[in-house]
Amino acid sequence: MSSRDEHEPTGSDRQGAQNSRAVRGPGASVVALLIAIAALLVLALATRTDTPDVRGSNATPTSAEPGAGQADTPAQLRANRRERNALIDVSLATRLAALKGVPVVVNQWASWCPPCRAEFPFFAEMAERYRSEVAFLGLNSRDARDGAEAFLKEHPVGYPSIFDDDAEQARSIGAGTGWPTTVFFDAEGNAVFIRRGGYTDASALEADIREHALGLPGPTPG
């Protein structure tokens, strides 16, 4: 037999080689597919692990955090402010007793009183500025309820006003003879100063608050 006859594949050899390639072809494709899937899974897991979960540090609180200074505000001041701008029917003596422990500023007013109307914005401003230190009360004396309620809608303040139709409660604290009148109480509940007449600017009211309610004589902060 010649050398060519020894090395030339026969027909059966060629068929076997083709069959062998046919078997290996699909198997290689499956393996490649599995490798690609595994690579994708690894990439997905790596991405999930490496990405920080920002929900833990920046999550919205489930309850509102207190505003600046609110946590240190005495409970009686917070309770008084909950009735802000309301015309209430309670005894002045009862409310002053409930506020004992903090200074109190009582402003006697009426809707028909022009000086009362002029100074109301000053009281609104100071009540907000000293909300964590001083309690404010309005005392609506010798006034019609509907007129007083309309006045409060027009000039809202951050504290309640006690309805005192005959001015008896005003007289009980040394007021009730002129409108407006403002009475200052120290933290022990003692009336320490009575201002008869209206305030013409906020700085004069603040000076009295600092001196007579808080016991801080001297100029107000700039």
Domain residues for the domain of 19 are: 3-50
**Is the residue at 222 inside a domain?**
no
Whether residue 173 contacts residue 106, with contact meaning beta carbons closer than 8 Å, is answered with yes
Helix (H) or strand (E) segment spanning residue 184:
strand 181-185
User: Is it the case that residue 153 has pLDDT exceeding 90?
Assistant: yes
- What digits encode the pLDDT tens for the residues 110-138? 999 999 999 999 999 999 999 999 999 99
139 shares a domain with 97? yes
Same domain, 7 and 115: no
Are the beta carbons of 137 and 86 closer than 8 angstroms? no
* Parallel, antiparallel or unpaired: strands 161-164 and 87-88: parallel
pTM score of the predicted model: 0.68
Whether residue 196 lies inside any domain: the answer is yes
Q: Which pLDDT tens digit goes with each residue over 33-82?
A: 677 676 666 555 555 544 333 333 333 333 333 334 556 899 999 999 99
Residue 113 token pair: 């009183």
User: How many domains does the chain fold into?
Assistant: 2
Could you tell me how many residues make up the chain? 222
**In a shared domain, residues 85 and 172:** yes
